[in-house]
Structure 1
Amino acid sequence: MTPTSHGHRALRWTAGTVGALALMALGAAPAGAADPAPGVVLGKIAPIDGVKPGSALSVPISFTNTGPAALDKVWMEFDVTRGLSHTEVPSNCGRWDGQAHDDLPAFSNLLCEFDQPVRPGVVYALEKPVALKVLDHSLYDLLRVAIWGTEPVSEGGFEPIPGTAPAVKLVERPDDTPAAPGSARPDGGDFATVDVTAENTADFQVTGARLEGGVGDTVPLEVKFTNAGPGWVLRDGVSPAVVRIKMPAGTSVAKSAGFCRNLGSATYECGMGDSWVDEHGGQTYDFKLRIDKAVPGAKGSVALAGKLPRPFDTVRSNDTADILLDVAGAGATGGSGSTGTTGGSGTASGGSGTASTGGSGSTSGSTSGSGTGATGGSSTTGSTGTTGLSSTGGALASTGSGSVLPLTAAAAGTLALGAGALLVARRRADRQR
């Protein structure tokens, strides 16, 4: 992607509590400013539920010029998360796609310029709705629509690739009720965040291990969380999975895995470095256990935990697994146990979710922060969008009690999905899950 000197004003998706996204244009006037500037106001866009993977999706968009005079041009932006795709790019639009990296899930962006007069007090709509494709891994996704009545300001974005499809135009909707005069945001633009929920599933599962050693030995333990798909899962500022690990009796933890905290009683609760997990992605947790004494039949466990519901996960038989321990001279633990690696060896997870031991999180010792996402729910225009699953956030800590799970060094995060760039700043304040 090539930098451009002519971009847009980046709009930040600021993650607050689950169920709300506050968007704020950079450089906008204070929300409480008197005499709000005239501008453009989007019509209501309903949340979209029950779409089928592989299907086409049409989203009608309308707006009103609430000012006293006609506008010569308007600019509209359509951003989607990785489970959705723009099906065509009109010649008066440009598109660019961002691959998952660092704190960013993959996304696609479309910025369009409408070079035609827009009269005040009249509702306008696109002559044909925004066309999207629901991809096979779609589950919880976001569409963000933004509009400006003045040319967007460059914030060091990237140059979109011009479209080749016929240009899309604006048409008047005289029978629609226009927005009230003076109801525009102080910066004269507007935006809406829309939840798109697909009829899809995602199989969250864990893998245990079998350990061998003698009293006094320190042995590696590797356990895994994997999203077997087919859908990816995007949460709002919290780890998409919580894994609780109970160590076998007679052992103590010499070294803890990243993204984990000690609950006491030889139990650890672990999250991920990001707020999404791609299909076939996940996280590996590497511990070092010291065998303090031989306890016949000692056995630990790995289990999916946490308070967030998982209605998309219909397979519960793989939500738990055993950690079996064979201590020399103490007899075998018995039973076949769960799948795992003898001695717990293996590599740490990483990547963007393209392998079953990788995932959208960072390596287990890193401090990668969280992205921002959402799940099914309602939408609003203006400075607040809504998301569906409710939770209370979280940020990683090495100690603590109860069910609060940290999410890596992440907080105060902002996700800017815009025509110029999609930016995520880490959350660095505590967010409870």
Structure 2
Amino acid sequence: MELRLARRAVAVAAVLGASVGLTLALGAPAQADTPVVTLEQPAPAAVAPAGTTGTADTVQPYFDFRTTGPLDNVEATLTIDATQLATIAHVTFSDNCTVTQYVATCDEWLYDPQGSSSTVGAGTQMTIEALPGATVGSAADYTVSGTSDGATIVGAQGSVEIGGPAYSQGQPKNLTGLAVGSVVTVPARFTNIGDRPADSTQVLLMASPGLGFTKHYANCEYSTDDSSTEVEEALCTIPGQVLPGERAAVSPAPRVRVESSAYYTYLDTMIAPTGDAGIRSTTASRQWTQGTGDELTLKVITPGTATDAPSGTVALAMTGEHSDYRSASLQADNTADFAVTGDSATAAQGDTVTMHFSMANNGPATIFYRSGDTMAVTASIPPGTHVVSSSSNCRRTSGSAYTCYGASIITPAGTVADFSITLQVDQVIPGAQGSVAMAWSPDGSYRPPFDTDASDDSAALTLN
């Protein structure tokens, strides 16, 4: 199975600036209404020699673009010159490419009709595999350029190395029933299963809402963002060579406090050689403050094997159960009371009337559904009416029922989500009653264990 270069569900990309000197702008000069489509510089790639256990035999760089304007199936031609790369690797291309002497000419269609996407993906793929006998530590470049009648294409240059370090991290235990106010230790251990050492290591700790670090270290930077699913992060740089085969642990092991807002919480950990593109991309948008005090270190559990191979900063892609990214689920023994409010109104036949209702988290816990689900209510309209319109956070799901959603997968204590539905009265029915209720499950057979009070889970929508 061909594997893409990214080792985690994080896009590794940085727009190539003019100061780098590698941008290739091809085609006719841009007109005022001609979008400029810029290839994000591919992250440096490392490919393992054949037979390296736990690492991928091939890699595929991402070819993602940014655009300055709408693209409605713009036809383009991408040219990938892999002449240098072919000296150390076997390179193949997707079926939309014609290849002559390691130069691929690829038919491409770029689509982003609104011109608003963070990236525009390409269908063109390049698969890279180390040549037999390629020297570990050797490197080569490739270039990507392009032309189009509907856009100006700006290319970039990528690089590939043979071999590299690869930090396979152990999976920490998931814990439940944690007392609010308690402190939890989450060991972070890894093994360099690659074929090259790393001269230093970076550890990125990401705490979700409800967790807080108990100590800060002088060789770590810290970032807080209350609106993020990773409300607090620590990025630590630890000097010292990590040899192939070495097994090490972050020392002291990370410790987090279970706060009063905790329920579903997570501590995510990425461990990689310093300079790793994945960590760099993940942390680029945050603001950081240097820590003080003691320094975080690595404790060697099993020594590695000395090698003549040069140190590397570009990590190998890993396969199977091997990964440099792990997540510990830490569930607190806590509650959150969700409550709804209804509405009542009077209207004559033929009139329209807007009914307002809401959903609130009375706490104390923040509820974070990492699956991507948001808290929601189901509203059933009073008989004798039909819906004219609704607030943007509501949509019809079946018959006269509407489902209305909270704004985020994170619902802190104190959050109130407001909804409305505008009705036209077809028939005046005294005491016509609809309802609004927490949408715990489609058939109402489930309610979460964190909400023990069912008395405020539903309310009436009464008309006339």
What TM-score range do you get, normalising by the shorter chain? 0.5 to 0.7
Once the two structures are superposed, residues 27-70 of structure 1 have per-residue CA deviations (whole angstroms, 9 ceiling, x without a partner) of 36696615774322212211122211221111111111223454
Distance 2:164 2:401 in 1: 56
How far apart are 1:272 and its partner, in Å? 2.6
SS in 2 for 1:203: strand
Is 1:142 aligned with 2:269? no
Aligned to 1:186: 317
Give the match for residue 173 of structure 1.
301
Q: Distance in 2 between matches of 1:50 and 1:12?
A: 32
Is the contact between residue 7 and residue 323 of structure 2 (CA under 8 Å) also seen in structure 1? no
- Residues 4-47 of structure 1: per-residue CA shift (max 9 Å, x gap): xxxxxxx8974xxxxxxxx5655366966157743222122111
Pairing 1:231–2:365 present: yes
Q: Which residue of 1 aligns with 2:106?
A: none
1:164 and 2:292 matched? yes
Flag the 1:235–1:185 CA change in 2: closer, same or farther, 3 A: farther
Aligned to 1:77: 204
Greater Cα offset, 257-266 or 285-294: 257-266
Q: CA deviation at 1:82?
A: 1.6
> Cα–Cα, structure 1 residues 171 and 86, in superposed 2: closer, same or farther, change >3 Å?
same
Instruction: Give the aligned residue type for 1:289.
Output: L
5+ residue gaps, structure 2: 1-5, 14-42, 48-55, 59-128, 131-162, 305-314
Q: Is the 8 A contact 2:382 2:434 kept in 1?
A: yes
Indicate the residue corresponding to 2:378 in structure 1: 244
| Structure 2 SS opposite 1:157 | coil
* Letter of the structure 2 residue corresponding to residue 255 of structure 1: S
Question: Partner letter of residue 322 of structure 1?
Answer: A
Task: Report what 1:59 is aligned to.
Answer: 186
Q: In 2 relative to 1, CA 273–185 (structure 1 residues): closer, same or farther, beyond 3 Å?
A: farther
Q: Larger Cα Rg: Structure 1 or Structure 2?
A: 2
Q: 1 or 2, which has the higher strand percentage?
A: 2
- 1:75-110 deviation per Cα after TM superposition (whole angstroms, max 9, x unaligned): 11101112111122100111011131xxx4461110
Q: Does 1:91 align with 2:218?
A: yes
Secondary structure class of the residue paired with 1:151: coil
2:236 corresponds in structure 1 to 112
> What is the CA deviation profile of residues 318-370 of structure 1, one whole-angstrom value per residue up to 9, with x for unaligned ones?
111111222xxxxxxxxxxxxxxxxxxxxxxxxxxxxxxxxxxxxxxxxxxxx
Q: Which amino acid aligns with 1:170?
A: L
User: How many Å separate the matches in 2 of 1:92 and 1:38?
Assistant: 22
The question of whether the paired residues in 1 share the 8 Å contact of 2:266 and 2:327 is answered with yes
Deviations 1:381-412 (A, max 9, x none): xxxxxxxxxxxxxxxxxxxxxxxxxxxxxxxx
Q: TM-score, normalised by structure 1?
A: 0.63
Mapping of residues 42-53 of structure 1, within 5 Å:
42-53=169-180
**For residues 64 and 138 of structure 1, what CA distance do their matches in structure 2 show?**
31
2:458 matched residue in structure 1: 320
Structure-2 residue corresponding to 1:212: 346
Any stretches of 5+ residues in structure 1 without a counterpart?
Answer: 1-10, 15-22, 177-183, 327-433
Paired with 2:373 and 2:199, the residues of 1 have a C-alpha distance of 45
Give the letter for the 1:123 counterpart. R
In 2, Cα distance between equivalents of 1:29 and 1:243: 48
Local SS of the residue matching 2:450: coil
* TM-score, reference length from structure 2: 0.59
Match of 1:3 in 2: none
Matched to 2:248, the amino acid is Y
Single out whichever of 184-193 and 161-170 deviates more from structure 2.
184-193
Partners of 2:324 and 2:286 in 1: how far apart? 22
Tell me whether 1:122 sits opposite 2:122 in the alignment: no
> Helix, strand or coil for the counterpart of 1:72?
strand
Q: Any idea what the Cα deviations from partners look like across 1:101-141, whole Å, max 9, x if unmatched?
A: xxx44611100011123233232112211021111011011
Q: Answer whether contact 2:430 2:463 (CA < 8 A) is retained.
A: no
Q: In structure 2, what is the Cα distance between the partners aligned to 1:12 and 1:217?
A: 58
